[in-house]
Structure 1
Amino acid sequence: MLDRPRQTPLLSALVCLGLFAAIALCVAAELSWLTDLDSHGEAARQWAGDRSWLEHPLRVIEVAGGTLWMTIATIVFAAGGLLRGHRRAGILIAVVMAATALITYFTKMFVGRGRPLWQDPEYFLHSNAFPSGHSSAAAAFAGLVIVVAAMLVRRTAIRRLICTLAVLAWALVAADRILLGRHYPSDVLGGTLLGVGVLLLGIALYNPLPRSHALKAEPLPEPFPSARRLAVVLNPIKVESVENFQTMVTQMALESGWNSPQWFFTTVEDSGTGQAEQAAVNGADLVIVCGGDGTVREVCAELAGTGIPVGVVPAGTGNLLARNLEIPLFIRAAIDIALTGQDRAIDMVEVDGDGIEPTHFMVMAGMGFDAAIMEGVNEDLKKKVGWLAYVLSALKGLMFPTMKLEISVDGGPFTKHRARTCVIGNVGSLQGGMNLLPDATIDDGLLDVVLLYPRRFLSWIPLVLRVMTRREHNAGESVARMTGRTVVVRASGEVPRQLDGDTIGLGSELRMECVHGRVLVRVPRTV
């Protein structure tokens, strides 16, 4: 619905609101067919009244779907969108819920329908009944949850679960109004049509997707003439439909003044290096890469130093590079930034060690507990639930054994340390959005190191709080930090290791050097 022409949600909104208006007129005219429909409400109330165990759950649902809690939920939902940088989504949430409430109120005043007489006399409501305010608010809110899930949740299984739960929540509220005898069935139907109609109208008039730079900004000046040749490196298993993705990119590229793209698909044997090399040989002026952190790393490394910018369309589980560059996770918005954003020179890290060929990373390397998390992830579960698979793996390995480490920074003497995990990062925000390296930036030419050493199981709690609040720490505490252009880490024995979330096997040493400003990437415009 979000990617479709404006006419689609607009027509759907007019149908819903038209049906709502028709039912409102029928209610006001007290037509007989509507009376027959509403008579089923009395039977439903009688059925629920005969089952005393239902009374308390129905009251709880009534309170949870009432004005107070729906207002609180709306404020939290809208504020969350605004604070997370999804301004249009936050505004849509606030406007749709407010408009639904206002239309519900004035329609109640206009129609003036009384409540059903079969309500429980102990909790009898005397306010107007049509349309059901609980139903209109629940329908609008559930629809907004589905819209935001479509925008931000990449995993199909999780997105479907969220949508199912949203619809179930609306259904519980709608059934609750009838089973308690608060509303006639037509009140609930009218409220639902109103909530859905207002939501669809809001999407048609103010689509929550970020607006394309191609529509609102002039093209950025180019230092050298460009033939506007575009290449796309795609990991085909990371998108739901390769054909739909190709159609979307091609259409957006042509709208933004680029030529039709050349397509290169990664394979099990080559996760991006060969495809990026061929794109460069073919004269690409921009290479878009769509895949996980591993594919993005390979393409960036191959194009490092060529002057060819890389547009990142995140389609993995962690998407750490995209998150730290403030590239949105919604595919269409990320494509737009890749095509129309500005170039930024970022650092790349060269790395080697025992048992591995010289390689590189863009975001982070790790030894110990964090690498054990990557190693212990169930890949089948990861495909279904995404990052939750990492959480389960982390819980299983919280007491990873202590490592004895020696670390040298910028060629200095080795210092001895004890830690459960050692992370060397090129960015500040790592897994789960945790700001492990608060002073790290991706273009400062420096590596940041953090050592975590919780001594007991419960020590993880204050440790996490210390990391998240950036509290200063004294020597001997469970957090230690270092910074330098080159870093060498040695362990007393073989431990798990990882680069950008991909395991590289057991080993005892990593040698890293930050190469300043080596890769050009497309990022959101600052003006």
Structure 2
Amino acid sequence: MKSKIQKLLFIVNPGSGNHTIDFKKEIKSFFKAKEETFEIYELPKDFAIVDLKETIKQSKADRVIAVGGDGTLKLVAECLLETGTPIGIIPAGSANGMAKELRIPLEIQESLTLTISGKPKQIHAILINGELCIHLADIGFNAYLVKKFDELQERGMWTYAKATWHAFWYHRKMDVEFKIGKKLIKQKAAMVAIANATQYGSGLQINPDGKLDDALFEIILVKEYAVMEILKIWISKLPWNPKKIESFQVSSLKIITKHKVHFQVDGEYIGKVNEIEAKLISKAIYIIAGPSV
């Protein structure tokens, strides 16, 4: 019996970081010799998520592919949460953190091939202050870095390095408070990461214990700036010093800060908050991963 011909819907974000590739042209060229059918929907500058949901519903696609960075993936995941429809990724962002996490090729032809042949993997997500988190969220230092990065006109690792340098000089520690079981933790911290995945798009592995398909997520408490400590983890892959960085596994958590602090989710700066409520969403989405995941 002949298998059903798949239909793919590509959600293209023209505002994503990579402007060197014409993704619509590459997609059309790739599918010329394929039996699969496809549609391309380019996100307009101003759109409502209800309109995107309706577009996905009307397409009746077997797979929906996010062409962009982590923010684009987050948007598509919000539309397909707990639906069972597989989500693919064509990495087109500045950092592509989740694509790297899932070992999706950055080369366009290879990633397009994977959208057809890749096997969907069911993963959990986190709901944080009403925002869906697929990859990584945090308060403090890195969220401030994301804000500064967004304010700079150019993209790329050099711009990221400039934003990082600015954050190291100007961001100040926070007073945070949260409970792990019956233990109350009060701590001055540079940042607190709410981690679904293991590493940032920059390559910094912040959460070595992270698994996308278990029943837990991690809280990473960075107690001091410890520039050398962070560089040690990034470059040498050696374990961190628990006196400076500590990890906790939870399925839900509430964090309170003394003053309002910077907050980001999946590379999108949300604003300033003084309270974080995070809860695991089990079996949230199906996502197409690389063959070695």
TM-score normalised by structure 2 residue count: 0.89
Match of 2:35 in 1: 257
Q: 2:60 aligns with which of 271, 277, 283?
A: 283
Q: Report the CA distance between 1:379 and its aligned residue.
A: 4.1
State how 1:411-490 maps to structure 2 within 5 Å. Answer: 412=182, 414-454=184-224, 459-465=226-232, 469-471=237-239, 473-474=241-242, 477-490=243-256
Give deviations 1:97-126, integer Å, cap 9, x for gaps: xxxxxxxxxxxxxxxxxxxxxxxxxxxxxx
RMSD: 2.6
Alpha carbons 1:271, 1:298 under 8 Å: kept: no
Q: Report the CA distance between 1:435 and its aligned residue.
A: 0.8
Give deviations 1:29-54, integer Å, cap 9, x for gaps: xxxxxxxxxxxxxxxxxxxxxxxxxx
Taking the aligned partners of 1:237 and 1:335, their CA distance within structure 2 comes to 20
Match of 2:81 in 1: 304
State how 1:124-273 maps to structure 2 within 5 Å. Answer: 226-238=4-16, 240=19, 244-253=22-31, 255-259=33-37, 261-270=38-47
Taking the aligned partners of 1:440 and 1:420, their CA distance within structure 2 comes to 21
Q: 2:71 aligns with which of 294, 305, 319?
A: 294
Q: Comparing both chains, which one has the higher relative contact order based on Cα–Cα distances under 8 Å and sequence gaps of 6 or more?
A: 2
Is the alpha carbon distance of 1:237 and 1:366 closer, same or farther for their aligned partners in structure 2, counting shifts above 3 Å? closer
Is the alpha carbon distance of 1:526 and 1:415 closer, same or farther for their aligned partners in structure 2, counting shifts above 3 Å? closer
Match of 1:373 in 2: 145
Is the alpha carbon distance of 1:394 and 1:472 closer, same or farther for their aligned partners in structure 2, counting shifts above 3 Å? closer
Alpha carbons 1:292, 1:314 under 8 Å: kept: yes
TM-score normalised by structure 1 residue count: 0.51
1:382 matched to 2:128:
no
Q: Report the CA distance between 1:273 and its aligned residue.
A: 6.0
Identical-pair percentage: 21
Q: Which runs of 5+ in 1 are unaligned?
A: 1-220, 353-357
More strand by share: 2
Is the alpha carbon distance of 1:335 and 1:466 closer, same or farther for their aligned partners in structure 2, counting shifts above 3 Å? closer
Q: Which runs of 5+ in 2 are unaligned?
A: none
Look up the SS of the partner of 2:214 in the other structure: coil
Q: Report the CA distance between 1:250 and its aligned residue.
A: 3.1
Q: What is the total number of aligned residue pairs between the two structures?
A: 290
Q: Report the CA distance between 1:412 and its aligned residue.
A: 4.8
Look up the SS of the partner of 2:154 in the other structure: helix
| Structure 1 segments of 4+ aligned residues over 6 angstroms from their partners | none
More helix by share: 1
Q: Report the CA distance between 1:463 and its aligned residue.
A: 4.5
Q: Report the CA distance between 1:378 and its aligned residue.
A: 5.3
Q: Report the CA distance between 1:396 and its aligned residue.
A: 1.4
Q: Report the CA distance between 1:442 and its aligned residue.
A: 1.6
Alpha carbons 2:9, 2:64 under 8 Å: kept: yes
